[in-house]
Amino acid sequence: MSDAAVQDPTGIDIPTGRLFLADRQIREAGDEIKSIERTLADPAAKIEDRAGMDRRLRTIQRDLRAQMAPETTPEQRDLLSKEEKVLREQISEAMLSQEEMRKCPPGALGRNVRFETEFKTRIMRWKNIVRAMNPGNDDPDVSNLEKFRPKTNSLNMDNALIQGKQFFLSPDTEQYKENYDRTFNGGSDTDRRIAELEKRLASLIGSMDAPSKPIREFKPKPMIESLCGKECKGLAGKKAHERRCGACKDIAEGTDTAA
């Protein structure tokens, strides 16, 4: 189908090969128009190519008029709303699921190509209807079909290109029985771990309730007077002092001589 506009029953021209401008694009175009107009109206502005800037202004204004969604009446929005719902259901039913798009199972690539080819016009029309129904809506996902991508798979996920973590155990295997018993019935391993934790908890509680040991009374070492009369802590301290003290050495030598 060509890019020409299709006459809608409501009288609105809905393009089939291009999209109406989103609110963000309209706002950006409006800001650029205002900026150019201020520059052109400023006598102090140094403009090297005034004619080029003027052409740029007319181009933006023309594209804005041509690509903006037309205004709609309440009656037109009611008809558009009904068509939007029908198109959305048709498109979402034909889309691949979220998991199929991620993992690409056999048949997914070809089906997605056929979907995009067959539904291109309907997708474009749905997006334009949504944008026409929501003027001024700055939600970037207002016309994003990914919000409606199905979650239920319709393709066989075995041998997918991108495999997920899937484990299938036969109910007859010992590992299956052990895992099932551990998950739903506790299992011997789980019971053992619970018993160990309970034992450790009881031990901790017991240690908290046990009376604390009495603090041993501190007994300082007795002071012993050295040969020179200095008091030292204990006998070891006295001997250490006398080995270093000159007065103690003189007294000791005098004692030895006298003897």
Quick check: 51 pLDDT over 60?
Answer: yes
User: What average pLDDT does this structure show over 200-208?
Assistant: 76
Residue 22 lies in a domain: no
Q: How many angstroms separate the CA atoms of 96 and 114, rounded?
A: 11
User: What average pLDDT does this structure show over 100-128?
Assistant: 89
Task: Look up the domain containing 247 and give its range.
Answer: 223-258
Instruction: List the one residue out of 111, 86, 116, 84 whose CA is nearest residue 100.
Output: 111
CB atoms within 10 A of CB 248: 19
Residue 146 lies in a domain: yes
Give how many domains the chain has, as a whole number: 2
The values of phi and psi at residue 233, to 5°, are -80, 110
- Global pTM value: 0.56
pLDDT at site 184: 54
Q: How many angstroms separate the CA atoms of 69 and 92, rounded?
A: 24
Rounded to 5°, the CA angle 203-207-209 comes to: 115
Q: Which of 151, 179, 211 is a domain's end point?
A: 151
Q: Which of 151, 186, 203 is a domain's end point?
A: 151
Residue 135 lies in a domain: yes
Residue 189 lies in a domain: no
Residue 2 lies in a domain: no
Q: How many angstroms separate the CA atoms of 108 and 59, rounded?
A: 43
Q: Which of 99, 125, 151 is a domain's end point?
A: 151
pLDDT at site 124: 93
Buried b / exposed e across 48-77, counting CB within 10 Å, b at 16+? eeeeeeeeebeebeeebeeebbeebeeebb
Residue 113 lies in a domain: yes
Residue 86 lies in a domain: yes
